[in-house]
Each structure stands twice: as structure tokens, then as C-alpha cells.
Amino acid sequence: MLIVFPTRTHVYSMAPVGWALRAAGHEVRYVGPRNPSEVEPFLETGLDAMWFGDDVDIARERKLGDTGSSNAMDDDFKLSETRQERYTAEYVRAVHEMWVDVFRWITPDSLLDELLSFAKQWQPDLVVWDPLMYAGPLVAHVVGAAHVRMLYAADQTARISFQYQELGERRDPLVEWMSGWLGKHGREFDETLRFGMATIDPSPSCIRYDLDVNYIPVRFVPVNRPLPIPRWVVEEPARPRVCLTLGVSNRQVHGREEASVLDLLDGLGELDIEVIATLSADQLASVDRVPANVRAVDFIPMNEALASCSAIVHQGGGATVGNAVVNGVPQLIVPGTTWSERASALAQEERGYGLLLDLADLTASSVRSGVERLITEPSFARCAAEVRQEMLDTPTLSDIVPDLEALASR
């Protein structure tokens, strides 16, 4: 059973482990809530899918920012925080409690009860679950199945969970919530329910936190919406080619962009480069004129586009980072504030193949300067090539299938 938060990025991130298990002869199925506006991504993976519980219409309700927590929209309590001095007891407590509210909203009892009923009938041997979807470990624990998490970006939930435990609080709302539901089914909380019996991690090693988690590093697999590839994508560009993307997560979950599209385009328009900007009509609405060197396209398969790029400018999402890494492309990251964008950007800047440009510092001039450095200073391309090779040397998902089989058999 594969259980994901029902948006395109999350579905695509988990698809490769489903393909690896299916190729090894196993029956694989997505299960979980249905997002009416995001059914196609499940079908595009070629894997079976079944819906349970009430619909989760994220595009309509924008409910991630309205979980019932008074801190949900407070800029002082964001999970993406990176400043060590901000990791106060108040911050850790507020963020941990806020995200437990989010987990409970995504995993209501109606979903858990329907999933459990199906799991008792279908009898899964292994549950692979998204870090947002605690239905995975809960249902697996009751039916006696093995379960592993699969990350799509840096492990923010583990980071905040360990920080919370260090406070020495007598109660943990995550444990209380899970224990309450498990108790109705004759089970008790187990520490493996926090992060899985193991955690599959396709991120570059520099992004991985040094935490007491059973991480299984794997090679990142690019997954993009299947579309015909225009011929110009695979042709050698006459000038350095730079990709600009702001991903799809902000559009899907929050209905907005945090970075100024106008500043990004103005900065790139001042350089002697060719720009591929994967921007929708809505994202371009604030722009009076698209620079002559910019080719704006609503969507293009990222992996194929990056094969001919000298740099990429993006918002720091896990899938975009992975696509850039496997193509050895230096990155200018203007990090969003949803998950781990800034932490990942800092790690990549320290590793030497990326640059961080904070939202507060975003101007046409800063974009121009950052991209110019990525293209003209050889160290960025050299480090990007090294990290690409590190990723290629990491075990594939097919390589770890025997380990998952052994876990399930135990």
C-alpha cells in the first residue's frame, strides 16, 4: 500500500518505489483520500489507486493554513525556520503542535476507519507512507504490516519531533492522538510510528539531517507529467540555457507564489542567456512584458529540459532539487517557506553547487548577479558534477527491494 498526500508532487515522488516493487512482481496500490482536482497524477503513474474517506479538495479549501491551530499562519512559527537562535522552546512547542493539527486534519477517523477495514481485507505486507500521512503507520500497526516512510524533501518532521522531545514535555500531542485511535483497536503506541521502521531518502546526502533515524539513501528518480517533448528541448542551445521554475506546490496548496515573478524575469532578461520559464498564465499575470530571451511555457518535463541547462532558478522544492542534482545543474534557490526549502538551500550553498537568495533580498539585480556567478564561476559546475556522481553511486530503488521484502517477511 502506498499512502500519499494527494497532490501531484507527492504522488510523483512515491511512484518510483511503486514501480520498483511492481517490477519485482508485487501487487502495488495507492490508497488514501481523493483530491478531486488531482486525480490525474495517480493515473499517470500507471499504478492502481483506490479512494477512502472524505474528499480533500485542497485547491478549493486551502485548508493547510486553517487546521485549527492559532499558530498556523504565524510567520514566527514556520516549520521552514533555519535560524538556530529561533529554535526556542516556544517555537518548537508551537510548530510541533501545529503540525500535529495538520496531520490530524489530513488523517481524520473516517479515513482511518475505512482504510483499516480495507487493509484487514486486502492484508498488505508493506505500507509505504508519505511524511504527512500518518494513516500509513497507524493502519499498518493494527494489521501487522511492515511500514516505511518515503521522503520527498528534507526530513522536517523528524527534526521538529526530536527538538520537541528534547524539551522533556510530559505529554506529546502526536503520541496522544495516535494512542487514542490505536487503543480503540487493541494496540499501543510504538516509537516506529514516528518515522517508520525505516525511511527511504532520495535527497542528496548534504541535505540529510544527522538524526537518529533509520535512513535508507536511494538515488533520486525524476518523474514528470508525461507529455510530448518539443524538439527544441533536446537541441544544443546557442547561448547558456537557464531554467526558471517555481514548482507546483504553492499553486496547488496555497494558491499563490511567494517570489516575485517580475523581479525574476527582469533579472534573467538582462543576461545574454536563453531562459526556459515554466510559468502559467496566472503566474505571468503580473508581468507586462516577457523579456525577449525568455521562452515561457506552462509545463515541460523538468528532467529533459535540465539536460541542456547551465543553471536553474527555483523555489527549493524537493523534486526540483532532485531533478537538478541528477542533471548536474548549479542552482539559484529563492526558498519558499512551506517545508525545508531554506534548509536545503543552505546545505547546497555550503556544498558549493548552489546559491541562496532569500525572498527579502530578491531583486532583478540580485537574480542577475546570482545566475551570472553560477554560469561563469567553474566551481559551481564542478561541485554540481561531483554531487551528481554521488547520487548516481547511491543504490537504486530496485537495489533496496530485497531489503523491503525482508522487512515485510519479518
Q: CA-CA distance, 330 to 353, in Å (whole number)? A: 5
DSSP state of 206: G
Listed in sequence order, the residues at least 6 apart from 41 whose beta carbon sits closer than 8 Å to its beta carbon are 7, 8, 11, 12, 225
Burial 34-51 (b: 16+ CB within 10 A, else e): bbebbeebbebbebebeb
Q: CA-CA distance, 186 to 215, in Å (whole number)? A: 29
pLDDT at 237: 93
Q: CA-CA distance, 12 to 284, in Å (whole number)? A: 25
Helix (H, G, I), strand (E, B) or coil at 384: helix
Can you spell out the DSSP letters for 45-104? Answer: TTSEEEE-SS---HHHH-GGG-SS-TTTT-GGG-TT---GGG--HHHHHHHHHHHHHHHH
Burial 101-134 (b: 16+ CB within 10 A, else e): bbbbebbeeebbbbbbebbeeeebbbbbbbbbbb
pLDDT at 312: 97
410 residues of the chain, pLDDT tens digit each: 999 999 999 999 999 999 999 999 999 999 999 998 889 999 999 999 999 999 887 765 554 444 444 444 456 678 888 888 888 999 999 999 999 999 999 999 999 999 999 999 999 999 999 999 999 999 999 999 999 999 999 999 999 999 999 999 999 999 999 999 999 999 999 999 999 999 999 999 999 999 999 999 999 999 988 888 889 998 899 999 999 998 765 555 555 567 788 899 999 999 999 999 988 777 788 788 889 999 998 888 889 999 999 999 999 999 999 999 999 999 999 998 888 899 999 999 999 999 999 988 999 999 999 999 999 999 999 999 999 999 999 999 999 999 999 999 98
Strands 48-51 and 274-278 turn out to be: unpaired
Q: CA-CA distance, 174 to 281, in Å (whole number)? A: 41
Query: Other CB atoms closer than 10 Å to residue 173's CB: what's the count?
Result: 18
Q: Which amino acid is at 165?
A: Q
Q: CA-CA distance, 246 to 185, in Å (whole number)? A: 43
Q: Quick one: how far is CA 171 from the chain centroid?
A: 29
Assess contact for 306 and 243: CB atoms under 8 A.
yes
Judged by phi (left if over 0) then psi (alpha if -120 to 50, else beta), residue 154 lies in beta
Assess contact for 332 and 246: CB atoms under 8 A.
no
pLDDT at 83: 81
pLDDT at 323: 96
Judged by phi (left if over 0) then psi (alpha if -120 to 50, else beta), residue 123 lies in left
DSSP strands (E only) in 88-188: 126-129, 146-150
pLDDT at 80: 81
pLDDT at 67: 46
Q: CA-CA distance, 234 to 25, in Å (whole number)? A: 34
Query: Model pTM?
Result: 0.92
